[in-house]
Amino acid sequence: MAVRGPSVWMVAAFAAVTGAVIGGGQAAIEAALRPWRIGDFAPGAIAPPAEAPVADVPETRYEFGTIGAGAEGSHEFVIHNTGRGPLVLTRGSTSCSCTVSDFESKDGGDELARKEVPPGGSTRLRLKWRGKGPGGPFRQQATVFTTDPRRPEIAFMIEGLVVPTWKAVPESLALPTITTNAETRAAVKLFTYGTDQPVVEELSATDPQTAQSFRISSSPLGATEIAAETGATGGVAIDVTVSPGLPIGSLRQTISARLRIPEQITVEIPVQGSVSGALALAGGAWDSSRQALLLGTVSGRSGSRAEVFLTAKGSHAAAVKPTVREVVPESLAVDIGTGKPVGDKGMIRIPILITIPPGSPPANHRCSEQGPAGRIVLDTGHPETPVFTIPICVVIGP
C-alpha cells in the first residue's frame, strides 16, 4: 500500500498554528519580564548624564477648597533639585484666569521668569487666581519647563469651588436719559453672603475720559432691604451721580467697588447710556452709533471734504453762533456757514464744511488705541452747552 504524505496546504496550516502558539507564548514571557509603561520610561531605559539635574516636586496638585466670586487666592509649590547639575526652570503657559508670580528671587520677591536652582537647592513657585463666574467648581493650571532630561515639563494644578459672595441689583446701570445740562442719578444694591458685614474700601470710575463727571458714594443697606434678598447677610447701596457737561453721544463707563467681607473682592458694574442736549450733529459722514465723524483714509495729495450740520433747538437756539477753538489734525480747514431755521419749532441748522486740503501731511487718527481720534472743538454761544466737540476718525496718507 502506498503511503500518502501530507499535502502542501496541510503543512502550511500546521506551521502557521505552531508558530503563532510559540510566538505568542514568547511574547507573553517578554511582556511579563519587561512591562510596557505608557507615557513613561522603564527604569534604566534612558540613562541621563551623571551630572544631570533632577526636578523633585512634592506636590503638583493642590485642593484649595472654596473661594468667593471676585476674591483672589494663591498657593506656593516647591521645586527641589536633587540632581548633580544646575536645574533651569522657565515659566510656561497658564490657564485664562491663573497667573504665575514667577519664581522667588534671592531677596524673597517674585521677580524672575527664569530660575536656576543649584544642586541641593530649591525654589518656590506661586500661583495666583481670582474666583470668577456665578459659582461652581474651578480648575487652574500653570506649566513650568525644566532642564531635567526625565521631566522636561511640569504641570501644576489648582482645584476648588467658587461660591457666590455678592450680588449686584441691577447687574448694570442703564442711563438712557442723560442730558448735558442736568445731573443724572442712579443706584445699585450690592448684597453679600458672608458672615461679616461688607466694608467699602474704594469706589472709582475706571474710564479716565469721563471719570471726572462721576461722583460715587456708598451707604449700608437697612435690615429690611437685606432680608428681602434671599440668603443675603449684608449689603451696601452704591449711589452714582453723573454731573452735567458730558459730550453728546453714547456713554460707556465702569464702576469699580473694592469690598472686604472679610476677604477682599472687586465688583465691577457696567454703565451705559446716551447723552443728549440742545445741540446735535447730522450728515452723511456722521456715525451716530460711534458718535464720530468718519472721514476714512484720504490721500494727502488729492485731499477730501465732508459736510455736516449742527442743529440747535430750544429757547437758546438763536444764540448759537459757533466758532472754531481747536482742530486736530491742524491741516483740517473748518468753514462754518450761516444758520437757517428748520420747520416752525425754532430749530436752527448750521452747515459745517470740513476740508482736507491737497498737500496735507500724513496723520493717523483712526479712532484706535494706536491712533486716537482727531477733533474739532467749537465755542457755541449756547449757555447750557458752551463747548461742542466733534470727534473725527481719519487717516491722511501720502
Give CA–CA dist 103/148, Å, rounded.
Answer: 17
- pLDDT for position 330: 92
Task: Please state the φ and ψ torsions of residue 50, each to the nearest 5 degrees.
Answer: -60, -30
Contact indicator for 339, 320 with CB cutoff of 8 Å: yes
What pLDDT, in 10s, does the model give residues 122-140?
998 888 887 776 678 888 8
What pLDDT, in 10s, does the model give residues 167-199?
899 999 998 778 777 889 999 999 988 788 899
Mean pLDDT score of the chain: 81
Grid cell 442703564 — which residue? 174
Quick check: 97 pLDDT over 70?
no
Task: Please state the φ and ψ torsions of residue 35, each to the nearest 5 degrees.
Answer: -65, 150
Q: Is 279-397 the same fold as 166-276?
A: yes
Contact indicator for 221, 189 with CB cutoff of 8 Å: yes
Quick check: 63 pLDDT over 60?
yes
What's the distance, Cα to Cα, between the start and end of the chain in Å? 110
Q: How is domain 279-397 classified at the architecture level of CATH?
A: Sandwich (2.60)
Quick check: 6 pLDDT over 80?
no
Quick check: 37 pLDDT over 50?
no
Q: Which of 95, 118, 93 is nearest to 106 (CA)?
A: 118
Quick check: 397 pLDDT over 70?
yes
- Provide mean pLDDT across the span 10-24: 40
In the chain, where are the structural domains located? 55-163, 166-276, 279-397
Q: Which of 233, 242, 192, 252 is nearest to 214 (CA)?
A: 242
Strand order in the sheet with 249-260: 173-179, 264-276, 249-260, 199-205
Burial status of residue 213 (CB atoms within 10 A of its CB: 0-12, 13-18, 19 or more): buried
Handedness of CA 26, 30, 31, 37 (dihedral sign): negative
Provide the b/e sequence for 144-165 (b: ≥16 CB within 10 Å): bbbbbeebeebebbbebebbbb
CATH number of the domain at 166-276, please?
Answer: 2.60.40.10
- pLDDT for position 224: 94
- Provide mean pLDDT across the span 36-63: 68
- pLDDT for position 48: 67
Quick check: 153 pLDDT over 50?
yes
Angle at 261 between CA 260 and CA 266, to 5 degrees: 50
Q: Pseudo-torsion of CA 6, 9, 12, 13, nearest 10°?
A: -100
- pLDDT for position 256: 95
What pLDDT, in 10s, does the model give residues 200-218?
999 999 988 889 999 999 9
What nine digits make up the cell of 241?
451721580
- pLDDT for position 106: 53
The set of residues, in sequence order, having a beta carbon less than 8 Å from that of 340 and lying 6+ positions away, is 348, 349, 350
Higher confidence at residue 142 or residue 353?
353
Query: What distance lies between CA 209 and its chain's CA centroid?
Result: 19
Beta bridge partners of 389: 377
**What percent of the chain is modeled with pLDDT above 90?**
45
Q: Report the range of poorest mean pLDDT among 22-26, 209-213, 228-232, 379-383.
A: 22-26
Quick check: 298 pLDDT over 90?
yes
**What percent of the chain is modeled with pLDDT above 70?**
82
Reported as a pLDDT band with limits 50, 70 and 90, residue 387 is confident
CATH topology of domain 55-163: Immunoglobulin-like (2.60.40)
- Provide mean pLDDT across the span 64-88: 87
